[in-house]
Amino acid sequence: MRLLQKFKNKGKSSQYKGTSNYAYLATRVRAMKSKLVPKETYPRLMNMGISEITRFIQETEYKREIDELARTYSGVDLIEHGLNRNLAETFTKLIKISEGEPNHLITEYLRNYDVWNIKTLLRGKYYNASADEIKEALVSAGQLSYTFLSELAGKQSYSEVISVLESTVYYPILKEYDGTNLSDIENRLDKMYYNGLFNVISESKSKDRKLFAKFIRTEIDIKNIKTLFRLKKAGVSQDEIVDLIIDGGLELSKNNIQKLLPLSYDDFIQALDQYSFWDSISDAVNSDTDSLINVETQLIKHSLKSASSFSHVYPLSIVPIMDYIISKRNEVNNLRIITRGKAANLSDEIIKNQLVI
């Protein structure tokens, strides 16, 4: 009960207080970003085995997590848990060192990990994954603690998980889950998360709310264009696609989405040349493309480059913080891709094509 009460308190909407400390925070974030794995290091990692990668990671910012978890895990499991724990602790640190408005915005943005973890728990129960398998994918970077999430991972069924979450803001959606409509529930959780962010943005007309809004709306564009690519490639109907689109994009407005929906896959590709991300993906797309991995990789690269450029224009704002968050998340994804690829004996070419460097 004490654990659940703690979660109830953490789940309440943040009310930011105090002075915004952007100058201090920007300095700290620059220092943290300087410690990210340099892009020149990835080719070296590609030539390493799992044990060598573990030793390399142990000599970086992940050392403490790897050292602590080495008592329980080894090999790929050790790396997975170490990466996830470091990511969670890094983002928790951002919340702790921030004050006022940036603290409020960071806290609300990182609620996406609460949604991620709930979806992970439901997927795990759906596929009869073990508690350990579910825990390996958890990232407690939001408001839900790892202890709380681990307890949920040990529940016998999805209905038990949902029952524990009855007092949360997610329950009105979760209670509609019947064991067969997982995709719909996940989609509704994502939309709820972004609606929450737009509510936060509307609380103030400050410059940083506007910058934060631009960042979020650009993120929605990337999510929507990836959804459109996947579903149009798969021949999914227009009505089914529209249910999965998230409102609020910057370039891909509701009106622009409506124009793209009826198009054939080939016409859809041709219609994208008017958008800012087109130059990033144009070489990767054509009607004969079997896999969309390269397209999605290029879209993520576009997002990272845009955030980095944006942060240089507004150095004392929320933007460099958001830039760091997505850069750190990308680093963890890259290290995970290399590790999983090596464990699965994938070719270097396949692994390299999935990396966002």
Q: What is the mean pLDDT of residues 5-15?
A: 43
Residue 178 clears pLDDT 60, i.e. is over it = yes
Q: What is the mean pLDDT of residues 235-249?
A: 95
> Rounded to whole angstroms, how far apart are CA atoms 13 and 24?
25
Q: How far, rounded to the nearest angstrom, does the alpha carbon of residue 215 sit from its chain's CA centroid? A: 14
Q: What is the mean pLDDT of residues 144-159?
A: 97
pLDDT at position 108 is 98
Confidence of residue 172 (pLDDT cuts 50, 70, 90): very high
pLDDT per residue over 179-196, tens digit each? 999 999 999 999 999 999
Average pLDDT, the chain: 93
Residue with token string 């990337």: 222
pLDDT per residue over 267-284, tens digit each? 999 999 999 999 999 999
pLDDT per residue over 86-137, tens digit each? 999 999 999 999 999 999 999 999 999 999 999 999 999 999 999 999 999 9
pLDDT at position 17 is 53
Residue 3 clears pLDDT 50, i.e. is over it = no
pLDDT at position 14 is 43
Q: Is 321 exposed, middle or buried (0-12, 13-18, 19+ CB in 10 A)?
A: buried
Q: Picking from 2-11, 49-58, 170-179, 248-257, which range would have the lowest pLDDT averaged per residue?
A: 2-11
Residue 251 clears pLDDT 80, i.e. is over it = yes
Cβ atoms of 101 and 14 within 8 Å: the answer is no
DSSP one-letter string for 285-314: --TT-S--HHHHHHHHHHHHHHHHHHHHHS
pLDDT > 70 fraction of the chain, expressed in percent and rounded: 95
Q: Is 185 exposed, middle or buried (0-12, 13-18, 19+ CB in 10 A)?
A: buried
Residues in CB range of 147: below 8 A, 6 or more apart: 3
pLDDT per residue over 300-340, tens digit each? 999 999 999 999 999 999 999 999 999 999 999 999 999 99
pLDDT per residue over 337-352, tens digit each? 999 999 999 999 999 9
pLDDT at position 50 is 96
pLDDT at position 268 is 95
Q: What is the mean pLDDT of residues 6-12?
A: 42
> Rounded to whole angstroms, how far apart are CA atoms 185 and 176?
8
Describe the chain by its helix, strand, coil percentages, rounded to 5. 70, 0, 30
pLDDT at position 20 is 80
